[in-house]
Structure 1
């Protein structure tokens, strides 16, 4: 059995710090407790050399944004990869540290932090970065489909979209907000129709569980959240999925980790 974790830490340096009053154990304690074979991070907000974080028995790979304190991804792995790729090979997309791909003998693992469409300015109808987000979605889907031709793909991370109404607390009032526009939801549908499976929905078709809560309005306390963190797999891995879960009890970020176990 192979265990995968993905977590948007919303700034790894901040996530590192324990806080007993907030029931926050600190990243290193969570990492050791979850004991994953692959631990993928989104939104690390780091530059090279800012944090020396190593775990015995793991190799780590980091993709940093050009812009300081922004975006960024990482993967800790117990298994040495055949190859590592940073970005998609498209200059327009590859300056924000959003994609890392490890090629393993039996599969690819892709950690991604999808760009936020960013809510509209006053007087505008659509999120500000929606046109760029649409281009990203098409290019990322094409990237994954090329990988999938070679071997099965596991995709994880903050995809910045609640796919269906079940995936957020207030779908009606959030319609056309960033992360729940018709356009973003359709791109997620297109990706799944291209040969990928939302593993949480595969095993929990009707369960209401969220992975992100705004820091405002005591949203986490009220469980007014969104499910925007995912593990997707190539459909031919569906029968290999033994567990897919959302670890809502783990504090340290405005997101909680999501988990996948595969018989692979």
Structure 2
């Protein structure tokens, strides 16, 4: 079972900002950090662990709400990430990706799609990139097992949105299409408190 919460962790140059961690019972063959692009890697958003059968990437993707520049940064980060995982696939490696993607892919993935069509996190270009990513041979693991609405992983704390389940599904596990055949389940744990996000996970046979 993998869950989005190690042995490795990243610390960004700006303390208290972004950063990811990986806790694992199984010792990875190797652990590295970043996508190999300095302007992305200085924010400490990526940990990469080689588990022999697959390469795992834990990623905190950028948020584009702050400004047009940050939205552009987010989209360019997306493209660098896709190039990175595609290169792993060209090397014959299986890939599993977990992280806060900061985008709800389809209308089913957020409670109020119409009201958020012009908000970063549900913009047409962000959603189109997710289409492109999946078209490259990757699977949204949760939707492989569950096509029901009302399944979210993030809720706005200021408006107590979690009490009303007015949320967004922005935390994902992805796997390449070959490796996805090894999955036996993918799930969200909305009853686990302690953050504005909740855990997501997969089970691998």
For residues 239-258 of structure 1, the aligned pairs below 5 Å read 239-258=181-200
User: What residue is the counterpart of 1:141 in the other structure?
Assistant: 82
User: What residue is the counterpart of 1:89 in the other structure?
Assistant: 36
Superposition TM-score, scaled by structure 2 size? 0.96
Shift of 1:85: 1.3
Q: Does 1:60 align with 2:7?
A: yes
For residues 203-218 of structure 1, the aligned pairs below 5 Å read 203-218=145-160
Shift of 1:238: 2.3
Aligned residues: 204
Deviates more, 1:155-164 or 1:129-138: 129-138
* Unaligned runs of at least 5 residues, structure 1: 7-39, 41-58, 121-126
Task: Work out whether residues 104 and 121 of structure 2, in 8 Å CA contact, stay in contact via their aligned partners in 1.
Answer: yes
Q: Matched residues in 1 for 2:20 and 2:75: separation?
A: 21
Moved over 2 A (4+): 205-208
Aligned mate of 1:130, from 59, 66, 71 = 71
Q: Matched residues in 2 for 1:105 and 1:207: separation?
A: 35
Superposition TM-score, scaled by structure 1 size? 0.75
Q: RMSD of the TM alignment (CA)?
A: 1.2
Q: Does 1:108 align with 2:55?
A: yes
* Unaligned runs of at least 5 residues, structure 2: none
Task: Work out whether residues 10 and 45 of structure 2, in 8 Å CA contact, stay in contact via their aligned partners in 1.
Answer: yes
User: What residue is the counterpart of 2:140 in the other structure?
Assistant: 198
Task: Work out whether residues 101 and 109 of structure 1, in 8 Å CA contact, stay in contact via their aligned partners in 2.
Answer: yes
Task: Work out whether residues 109 and 149 of structure 2, in 8 Å CA contact, stay in contact via their aligned partners in 1.
Answer: no
Aligned mate of 2:2, from 4, 12, 15 = 4
Q: Matched residues in 1 for 2:88 and 2:24: separation?
A: 20
Radius of gyration: which is bigger?
Answer: 1
